[in-house]
Structures are given as C-alpha cells and as structure tokens.
Amino acid sequence: MTILALIFGRGLAQAAGMIAGLVAVRLLAPSAFGAYSLATTTIGLIGILADMGLDPILTARTAANPQAQGVLLWAAIRWRFIATLATALVILLAALIPPLGRPDLLLVGVISLFPRGVIRAICAALTGLDKARRAASIELFTGLGIALLTIMGAIFGRDALWLMGALAVGNGIGMIAALGGRPHPTPQTGGIDLHWRWQMGLPFVLVGLAGALFQGLDLYLVAALYARPEYDAVAFYAASLRVVSLLLIVPTAWGTVMLPRYIRAYQTSPLAARRLWRRQQGALLMVGIALAAVSGWLSTPFIGWLLGESYTIAAPILAILGCMVIPVCVSAPTIALLTAQGRTGGIAMAVIIAGGAALLIILLIGIYIPFSPPQGVIAIAAVKVFAMALLAWLYGRAVAR
C-alpha cells in the first residue's frame, strides 16, 4: 500500500502538471510560452545542483538512525539553502547567454527552489521513517496547488512571469504544509555525523544532470540556432514536447508500477527477471508503435484542437517527436531491470553517450546545413528521436553485459 500511495500521489501530481502546462500553451502567446519553457528548463537543471543529491542520503541516514531525524533534517535544509544561494549565479549568466532564459523569470524560479528543497527534504525524512504516505500527500498537495495556480496565472495573467510566480507561490504553500507534517523531534543519540560530504551526493547529482541535459539540451539549441522574431521556434518545439509527454504517460506509469515486481523477481531469480524483461519488452514495443502511428496520423488536427490554431504549423514537429514513444516504451522494462540489478551507473553512462551524440549531430547540422528555421527545428526533432533510439540500444547492451 505504501508503494501504491507514492505512485498515486506522484502520478496524479505529474498529470495535473501536464494538464496545467497544456492550458498554458493554449492561453499564452507563443513568445511568452517559449520564454516560460526556457526558464523552467534552466530552473530544472540548476534545481538538481541545489538539491545536492541529499534526498536519498537523508532517507538512508534517517532510516538507519531514526532518533537523529530532527538534527539530520535541519542539517540537510541548511545545506540546501546554501546551495540555492549559489545557484542564483545563473541569473547573471542569463544576461550573457540569452538561451538560458529571461533573467526576471529565472530570479522568480530561483526563489522557488528553496521551498521546493525544504519539501523534498521533509518528504525524504518521512520516507526514511516509513511514513511514505504522509510524504506522498505533501507531494500531491504541492503538485495540485502549483497546477491550479499555473492555470489561474495563464487565464488571468497571460504572461510567463505569472506562471513562474505560480511556481514560487505553490512551492511556498507546499513548504508550509510540509513543515506542518514534518517528523516530530525525538531524543537524539550521540555520535551523529552531520558533515554532508559533497562526494556522497555527487553520483546522484551526475545522474540527475545527465538525464535533465538529455531532455532539455535540444531546447537550448533550438533557441540558439533557429529562434526568430517571425518564427517562435522554442514555443513550437516545446509545445510539441508537451503533447508527446501525454503519450509518454503510458511507459512512465508502467515503469513506476512494474519496478517493485522486477526487484522482487531479480532477488528471487535473475533468470526469471530476464524472461519477464524479454516478454514485456515485446508487448511495449507494439504499444509504442500504435501510439506513434496515432500521433503521426492525427498530428495536424490534434495539435490545432488541443493547443490552438497558431500551433498547427508545429504539426510536422509533433509527428516526428511522436515517434519517440517507440524507443521510450522499449526502454521502460530495460530501465526497470537495470535498476533492479543496481546498475544505475550503466543508465547514466548510456544517457551521457546518447546525449553527447545528439549534441554533436545538432551542432554539425547548425553549422554546415543552411536549414530554414522550420526545417531546422524538424531536423532537431528527428535527432531527438534518433538519440532516444540510440539510448534504448545502449540500455539493451548494458543488460547484455
């Protein structure tokens, strides 16, 4: 029941966030939505640095020494506050590197990082104390609050700054709720190590950064190479990704639900876990092909109906990015098996290789092929699909080894 509570809470919060994002796409002008997409992508990247990889460490330490949970929690919050202040440097960088996002949007985004960090720290401590249901309820409350405020900002504000403000206010409200549900202080024991060594969180930071860069780097390249006043390349590309994210709910939800089963199967028999992987990989391949076919077939009417007529020009981008669901579906059981085997390093390495290959190809296209902005964005979408296919192959190679 604990696992189901976590899955339900996080899944519902993510679904609400997707719906709010689609409402924002429809109501905001393409230029405003493009600015919002760049800013949130940058905030997501620096948020990984601000988190410092402390959540799994805090969960493990709290589980090992419940009597010290109060001291451990506040030590983690203190370090996260310091890290958040350091990430504010991105605002200065944005003045020099425009594709990072508008400085005013990034300022509001940075403000939202500390309350978000407090929420994550408290939820990590609660998970370590085997109170995951309470953690899930806090995450759900925060996610729904941010989604509701985002929709309200899109309706009444019609500007990217309102949406970033919704993120900050939502996290602030969530922090208040998290502090109310935080673990109660307990008698402390001696010999508590409060020194959070950066080396401890570094592997988690690197894995998170690799995944975030793989997912967001192409948006920066679209902004740097093809954004024009007459063609909102960032908005069209980011909006297409928002629609594709609806299709990706299927493999994402599958992976979340099936991971515990893979872990149990691998602990019982590694051979049985491999048989389960082969059987489900074939089934998910067929699901991915069906979803990609429907996406390509309905891309023009669907994107116009969902996002508005101004986005129908992005239908070819959506049709290509929709093919991404095939390798993502194929990868889902492979990631579950690798995670059950404890081989997260192999996952990170595959992401780094595939992301590096995509970056190189996009840069070569931008330098040597004189595409028009619409053609260039379509080319980047095709490279994104190729990178996902390469990633699926690398995951398979990791399992074979």
3 state SS of 1:
coil
Q: How far is CA 262 from CA 4, 9, 249, 325, in A?
A: 16, 21, 19, 22
pLDDT tier at 201, thresholds 50, 70, 90: low
- For residues 252-268, average pLDDT: 78
* pTM of this structure: 0.82
From the list 198, 138, 200, the residue with the least C-alpha distance to 173 is 138
- For residues 241-254, average pLDDT: 82
pLDDT one-digit tens code per residue, 174-200: 999 888 877 765 544 444 444 555 555
Q: Could you give phi then psi for residue 231, rounded to 5 degrees?
A: -145, 110
State residue 9's pLDDT score: 65
As a whole number of angstroms, the distance between CA 27 and CA 35 comes to 14
Using the predicted structure, report yes or no on whether residue 3 has a pLDDT greater than 60.
Answer: no
As a whole number of angstroms, the distance between CA 231 and CA 378 comes to 13
Query: Tokens 């049985």 belong to which residue?
Result: 272
pLDDT one-digit tens code per residue, 119-133: 988 988 888 887 878
- For residues 196-207, average pLDDT: 61
Cβ neighbours of residue 251 closer than 8 Å, sequence gap 6 or more? 284, 287, 288, 325, 328, 329, 331, 332
From the list 342, 341, 365, 357, the residue with the least C-alpha distance to 394 is 357
Cβ neighbours of residue 366 closer than 8 Å, sequence gap 6 or more? 221, 224, 225, 376
Query: Tokens 């599958």 belong to which residue?
Result: 254
Handedness of CA 366, 370, 373, 376 (dihedral sign): negative
Q: Could you give phi then psi for residue 148, rounded to 5 degrees?
A: -65, -45
pLDDT one-digit tens code per residue, 297-335: 877 887 878 788 888 888 999 999 999 999 999 998 888
